[in-house]
Amino acid sequence: MLGVVNVTPDSFSDGGVNYEPANAVASARRMHAEGAALVDVGGESTRPGAEAVSADEELRRVVPVLEALRDEVPVSIDTSKAVVARRALELGAALVNDVTALRGDAGLAAVVAESDAYLCLMHMQGEPRTMQADPRYDDVVSEVAAFLEQRLGAAVAAGIAEERICLDPGIGFGKTVEHNFELIRRLGELTSLGRPIVVGISRKSSLGKLLGDPAATTGSVAASVGAAVAAYERGATILRVHDVREHVEALAAARAVLA
C-alpha cells in the first residue's frame, strides 16, 4: 500500500489538507501506522487541468516534510523533476514516482540510476493541462502495455536495474471512464510485462462518474476500495491510496477469501 500525501493547495481530492507541512507529516505518520509500506509525497498536482509548478516551489513544499519523516516513515517522491528527486533521495526517499515515465526531465534517469532507489514508470496520454479533453485509443490496454514496455526498456538502457522498476497504467491520465475500467479489467496484460504493477484509482473522478454524476471530480472511499480489491484480484502489487486504513482492512478480507 502506497499512501498519498499531496503537499499542494490544489490536488483533486486532498488539495489543501496536507499543504501545511505539519499536516502532511501527521498524515504520513498516520498512514504508516495504518499499514502503508511507503508514503508518496508530492509537491505538484497532476489533476486534469493543473498548471505546472517550478522546481523551487516544489522543493519548498516537500523538503520540510521529507526532513521530518526521515528515518521514521519510508517515503516515495512523486516528481518528474531531477532536482527534486535528487534532494528527496538525499533525504532518504526509497522510490521515485514519475508520472512522465522519464519523458519529462532529461536529467531524471541519471539521478535514479546513480542511487539505489526504486522507480515507478506511469502511462499518460497528453499532459495534465489538456489530457482529459478527448482521450482516444484503438485498444487502450495494448497501447498502454506497449508504452510501458518501451519506457521500461529506456529506463534499463539508462542504467536503472530492471528489478527496481514498477509500472503503472496511469488511471485518469488521458483516459475515459471506460478506458480506466478496461485497464483494470485486463490488468493481466500488464502484469505479463514481468514487473510489479501499481494502480492508483483512489478517489478518482471515474468512480464518481460511474455512480451517476457526469461532472464528478472525485470518487467516494467505498467506490475506491471496491475498485482496489478488484485490481488486487487481477494482479496489482501496489495500490496508491488516500484512505489507507480502509484499503488495508478490505484487502485483509479479500486475501482471506482468495488465499
**So which residues are the catalytic ones?**
204, 240
Q: Which stretch binds ligand HH2 (CB under 6 A): 108-116, 145-153, 165-173, 211-219?
A: 165-173
Cβ distance to ligand HH2 smaller for residue 99 or 221: 99
Cβ distance to ligand HH2 smaller for residue 61 or 240: 240
Cβ at position 11, least distance to ligand HH2 in Å:
3
Distance in angstroms (rounded) separating the CA atoms of residues 242 and 252 = 17
Return the closest-CA partner of residue 147 out of 207, 102, 97.
102
Cβ distance to ligand HH2 smaller for residue 42 or 174: 42
Residue nearest to ligand HH2 (CB): 200
Q: Which residues, 6+ apart, have CB-to-CB distance to 257 below 8 Å?
A: none
Distance in angstroms (rounded) separating the CA atoms of residues 144 and 141 = 5
Exposed e or buried b for every residue in 204-219, given b needs 16+ CB within 10 A? Answer: bbbbbbbeeeeebebb
Angle of helix 177-185 versus helix 140-157 axis, rounded to 10: 70
Residue of 1, 3, 6, 38 interacting with ligand HH2 (CB under 6 A): 6
Site for ligand HH2 contains 200 (CB under 6 A): yes
Cβ at position 256, least distance to ligand HH2 in Å:
27
Backbone angles phi, psi at 68, to 5 degrees: -70, -30
**Residues 79 to 98 in contact with ligand HH2, rule: CB under 6 A:** 97
Residue of 28, 39, 47, 141 interacting with ligand HH2 (CB under 6 A): 47
Residue of 7, 25, 38, 46 interacting with ligand HH2 (CB under 6 A): 46
Cβ distance to ligand HH2 smaller for residue 7 or 256: 7
Q: Give the residue carrying C-alpha cell 479479500.
A: 254
Site for ligand HH2 contains 42 (CB under 6 A): yes
Site for ligand HH2 contains 120 (CB under 6 A): yes
- Is the Cβ–Cβ distance between 131 and 125 less than 8 Å? yes
Q: What is the DSSP secondary structure assignment for residue 15, as one 8-state letter?
A: T
Q: Which stretch binds ligand HH2 (CB under 6 A): 22-30, 101-109, 164-172, 215-223?
A: 164-172
Site for ligand HH2 contains 206 (CB under 6 A): no
Q: Which residues, 6+ apart, have CB-to-CB distance to 137 below 8 Å?
A: 125, 143, 179
For residue 204, is it left (φ>0), alpha (ψ between -120 and 50) or beta?
Answer: beta
Q: Facing residues of 38 across strands?
A: 2
Site for ligand HH2 contains 25 (CB under 6 A): no
Residues within the interface to ligand HH2 (CB under 6 A): 4, 6, 8, 11-13, 42, 45-47, 78, 97, 99, 120, 122, 168, 170-171, 198, 200, 240
